[in-house]
Amino acid sequence: MLFRCAIVSIFLVAAACSDTLPRTADGKPDLQGIWQAQNRAAEDLEALATIPYQPWALEQKRANFASRATADPLVRCYMPGVPRIMYLELPFQIFQAREHIAMTFEWSQVYRLIYMSGAPQLYPGIGSWMGHSRGRWEGDVLVVEVTDHNPGTWLDAAGNFHSERLRLVERYRMLDADTIDYEITFEDAKVFAEPWTIRMTLQRREDLARLNEYQCQAEVEEASGAFEPDLHTWYPAAPPPDNAPFDAAAGGELPTLTTPAEIPRLPDGTPDLNGYYQSDAGGANYGLEAHAENFLTPASRGVVIDPPDGRLPYQAWARTERLDRELPHRGYDDPTAHCFVAGIPRSHYIPSPAHIVQTEDYVVVLFERMAWRQIALDGRAHPPDDERFWMGSSVGRWDGDTLVVEARNFNGKAWLNEVGDVITHAETVVETFTPVGTDRVIYRATVSDPIAYTRPWTIEIPLDRRPDELLEVACHEDNNDLQHLKDVRDEYRARQEEEG
Amino acid sequence: MNTARGKKRRAEVTRRLRIAGLERGARGLAVLAGILSVAPVAAHHSFSAEYDSERAVQLTGKVTDMRWSNPHAWIFIDVAQPDGTVVNWALEMGGANGLIRRGWRREDLPPGTVLKVDGWQARNGSATANISTVTFTDGRTLFAGTSNAATPRQ
């Protein structure tokens, strides 16, 4: 059967195979899973088709090719754009919800959110690295139009390129359970003499249970020494010998939350968390404990609900480190100043919105500041202990109307906020997402970290659903602050050296 | 800058940030939309680490460029010096996404526009400032006067 389908696909008639396709509850082909292109497109797209450049653009392409070792945006870890992200030699995962399709990519936490409802785009004409995707089903074919491209991306490593006038039409046609026929039509009147089309297959990566992390810029800066290891927090740092014992049983009695019956629900009765959310974070990104405004550091209302005094139960060394991190010369050490991902729980209270895509098997959170987390609901085990990630591993389950998540396997590189509240690789987090109204979810995170704390502690932050759309944050691509922060640090170090 | 004036200015910045309800994300009031510093809303790094509380600046100059970037947008202005030279200042604000959600687009601030800004200079001494207020020569506040009731709030 597979052989017959493959032959049929050559003639672009997939219908013969359609009876074998996996389908979602609403009858659409089920594209969900981990996929990867297996071809040379990332290296040189012209391995698949000759690109009909206008004469000036052909000259530009040749110049790009000649300088590709330094001019390729990917060399600087800039977002690859669409379609290049689709055929990079790294896997990606597709999630299908009712009104949105999410694609999460192993490459640097990049994602695509494809709007499927047919509603008009809220912010047309805002160029972005990953473009704007709106899709529809034509029979069994998923058709996606991608517009609003940033002219800064290339189509491959050979210097093939486009302008801001690029418009893509993608067609995803499932040939069998493990193969997607993927077609892209390129239109760009500024660069190309005529529209042109390429076609490739995407293969299911059945060998992969989950995506890993390839954090391009973080790896570059760690290798160069621009981002320095923290020997207190990074895996596998040991606890200091004089640490107080960790009282794992302390606390844990939290006010009860109630979910009304009439909240939005999926057909099976599960709370429907899908949508765009803004956290009411109360300044948690500038301190989890309550504090007043201090120069340009805004006030925090304090989001710690356990211990009841709102104070983080620090180990002595970690409190000292926290106070040191607040000094100006440590501002450079905050990973988010480098535009690295924020980790958990910080990603939920950095002051940027997020979009939740919920399927039967996953809750996927797409953070506007270009990072994703996927919470597996299939009862799977966490990865082996020596596999560590910026965003950790998240496994969830529904307990009544509350989504309960356990997150662990962190690498200990994140900070909890800009003032440097401390978290280490020993962190495990039990989170709850409880709808308390039609458009309000209460997020709680109980953090246990025996290296930095003497007992577990819990924060609470409301998340508000709004009728809005994500806009891309190209943090690393537009990071003008890091050099200033580095100057402050370097000046401090030079002064220390002078003073002996 | 003398200390008393510095304290007063800091108090003013504090007051404006508080009025703008930035921590609560309560925006959309046209009259307050001009409080552009929105820094807390989109910050990805510590402003207190990058900017110097002892270096308050007030600058007037012509816009040469605006970078609609995130988490911070930047305005560049040419500021004439007493000796006749011109210094191009980079002025940091909150992210472009917040401005876009309030209905503003890059065309709304053409080069040549004269602005007066208040802010804090970078600790490294470069011509860089984090700005708290932006005012046109006629007294209007930048981006004020546009009601975005139809635009969903961030």
Work out the mean pLDDT of chain B and round it to a whole number: 70
pLDDT score of A185 more than 90: yes
E strand map for A303-367:
304-306, 354-358, 362-367
Phi-psi region of B139 (alpha: psi -120 to 50; beta: other; left: phi over 0): left
Res B33: pLDDT: 32
Chain B, residues 55-94, CB within 8 A of chain A, namely 67, 69-72, 74, 90, 92
CA–CA dist A228, A249 (Å, integer)? 35
pLDDT score of B1 more than 60: no
Q: How many CB pairs under 8 A join A and B?
A: 137
Contact between residue A139 and residue A145 where contact means Cβ atoms under 8 Å apart: no
pLDDT score of B145 more than 50: no
pLDDT score of B136 more than 90: no
Chain B residue numbers with beta carbons less than 8 Å from the beta carbon of A299 are: 23
Res B109: pLDDT: 84
pLDDT bracket for residue A308 (50, 70, 90):
very high
CB-side neighbour CA atoms (13 Å) of A20: 15
pLDDT score of B18 more than 50: no
pLDDT score of B38 more than 60: no
pLDDT bracket for residue B46 (50, 70, 90):
confident
Res A151: pLDDT: 97
Res A114: pLDDT: 98
Chain A residue numbers with beta carbons less than 8 Å from the beta carbon of B39 are: 296
Res B15: pLDDT: 36
Contact between residue A176 and residue A153 where contact means Cβ atoms under 8 Å apart: no
A132 Cβ under 8 Å from any chain B Cβ? no
Going by the DSSP 8-state scheme, the letter that residue A124 receives in this structure is T
Chain B, residues 93-122, CB within 8 A of chain A, namely 95, 97, 100-101, 105, 120, 122
Res A290: pLDDT: 97
Contact between residue A352 and residue B38 where contact means Cβ atoms under 8 Å apart: no
Least CB–CB distance from A336: residue in B39, B45, B47: B45
**A418 Cα to chain B: minimum distance (Å):** 6
The percent of residues above 70 in pLDDT, for chain B, comes to: 64
Res B94: pLDDT: 83
- Please indicate whether, in this complex, the C-beta atoms of B43 and A283 are within 8 angstroms of each other: no
Q: Is the bond leading into A195 cis (omega within 30 degrees of zero)? A: no
Per residue in A61-97, pLDDT (tens digit) is: 999 999 999 999 999 999 999 999 999 999 999 999 9
Chain B residue numbers with beta carbons less than 8 Å from the beta carbon of A351 are: 25, 40-43
Chain A, residues 291-330, CB within 8 A of chain B, namely 293-299, 301, 326-330
For residue A257, give the nearest of A432, A388, A100 by alpha carbon: A432
Tell me the longest C-alpha to C-alpha distance in chain A: 79
Structure tokens at A254: 């939290």
- Please indicate whether, in this complex, the C-beta atoms of A334 and B101 are within 8 angstroms of each other: no
Contact between residue B102 and residue B33 where contact means Cβ atoms under 8 Å apart: yes
Q: Report ipTM (2 d.p.).
A: 0.86
A463 Cβ under 8 Å from any chain B Cβ? no
Res B2: pLDDT: 39
Nearest CA in chain A to B152: A468
B24 Cβ under 8 Å from any chain A Cβ? yes
- Please indicate whether, in this complex, the C-beta atoms of B14 and A293 are within 8 angstroms of each other: yes
Contact between residue A143 and residue A156 where contact means Cβ atoms under 8 Å apart: no
pLDDT score of A51 more than 50: yes
CA–CA dist A323, A428 (Å, integer)? 23
Sort A378 into a burial class: Cβ within 10 Å, 0-12 / 13-18 / 19+: exposed
Least CB–CB distance from A488: residue in B10, B50, B152: B50
Chain B residue numbers with beta carbons less than 8 Å from the beta carbon of A474 are: 69-70
Res B139: pLDDT: 82
Work out the mean pLDDT of chain A and round it to a whole number: 95
pLDDT bracket for residue A17 (50, 70, 90):
low
Chain B residue numbers with beta carbons less than 8 Å from the beta carbon of A328 are: 46, 48-50, 123
Chain A, residues 78-97, CB within 8 A of chain B, namely none
The model carries a pTM of: 0.89
Nearest CA in chain A to B120: A296
For residue B32, give the nearest of B151, B144, B147, B130 by alpha carbon: B144
A481 Cβ under 8 Å from any chain B Cβ? yes
Nearest CA in chain A to B127: A484
Least CB–CB distance from B45: residue in A126, A280, A331: A331
Res A346: pLDDT: 98
pLDDT score of B32 more than 50: no
pLDDT score of A447 more than 70: yes
Res A486: pLDDT: 96
For residue A232, give the nearest of A30, A23, A425 by alpha carbon: A425
- Please indicate whether, in this complex, the C-beta atoms of B92 and A299 are within 8 angstroms of each other: no
pLDDT bracket for residue B99 (50, 70, 90):
confident
pLDDT bracket for residue A253 (50, 70, 90):
confident
A476, A477, A481: best mutation site toward chain B, by most B Cβ within 10 Å? A481
**A336 Cα to chain B: minimum distance (Å):** 6
What is the arithmetic mean of pLDDT over A302-312?
97
Across A185-189, A333-337, B93-97, least confident range: B93-97
β-pair partners for A429: A407, A447
DSSP per-residue letters across B121-132: EETT-SSEEEEE
Chain center to CA of A230: 23
β-pair partners for A132: A147
- Please indicate whether, in this complex, the C-beta atoms of A297 and B128 are within 8 angstroms of each other: no
- Please indicate whether, in this complex, the C-beta atoms of B23 and A368 are within 8 angstroms of each other: no
Across A10-14, A162-166, A344-348, least confident range: A10-14
Least CB–CB distance from B122: residue in A330, A419, A484: A484
Going by the DSSP 8-state scheme, the letter that residue B108 receives in this structure is G
A61 Cβ under 8 Å from any chain B Cβ? no
Res B134: pLDDT: 85
A421 Cβ under 8 Å from any chain B Cβ? no
pLDDT score of A4 more than 80: no
Res B143: pLDDT: 53
Structure tokens at A320: 């000292």
Chain B residue numbers with beta carbons less than 8 Å from the beta carbon of A488 are: 49-50, 123-124
Using DSSP bridges, classify how beta strands B51-67 and A304-306 pair: parallel, antiparallel or unpaired: unpaired
Q: How many CB atoms lie within 10 A of CB A178?
A: 16
Contact between residue A412 and residue A396 where contact means Cβ atoms under 8 Å apart: no
